[in-house]
Amino acid sequence: MSKPTANFNLLLIIATDLGRHLFIILLYFSVIGSALAVVVSTHKNRQLIIAQEQLVQQKDALDIEWRHLIIEETALTEHNRIERLVEEKLNMRRPTQADEKLVRVKP
């Protein structure tokens, strides 16, 4: 009795199998591609959220600094303070009626 010999060409079998299941293989790669796109998108989204949080913190710090500067400007421009500094440092005073002179221009 002789045994039948089977000669299989492996490349031909793989190519045939891939041809039969081409849709499933394309679907598999599209699922993998979609999963990678979700991962990349999520990573970029998280980076943008972190950047936004840093910008919000920077805006809050600048807003606080601005408010402090407004308060400082208000305190430095008060009339009482200016008058006191003028009297102390420049020896100036408000003119009285005796200090006023009336000048008439003759036509």
The model carries a pTM of 0.55
Summarize pLDDT for 15-27 with one digit per residue, the tens. Answer: 888 888 889 989 9
Asked if 13 contacts 19 with a C-beta cutoff of 8 angstroms, the reply is no
Is pLDDT of 68 > 70? yes
Is pLDDT of 6 > 70? no
Asked if 93 contacts 87 with a C-beta cutoff of 8 angstroms, the reply is yes
The residue ranking higher by pLDDT, 79 or 44, is 44
Average pLDDT over residues 64-91: 88
Say which amino acid occupies 88: E
Summarize pLDDT for 36-61 with one digit per residue, the tens. Answer: 999 999 999 999 999 999 999 999 99
pLDDT value of position 93: 82
Q: Which two tokens stand for residue 99?
A: 């200090």
Q: Which two tokens stand for residue 22?
A: 């081409």
Is pLDDT of 85 > 60? yes
Cβ-based neighbours of 18, under 8 Å, separated by 6 or more: 25
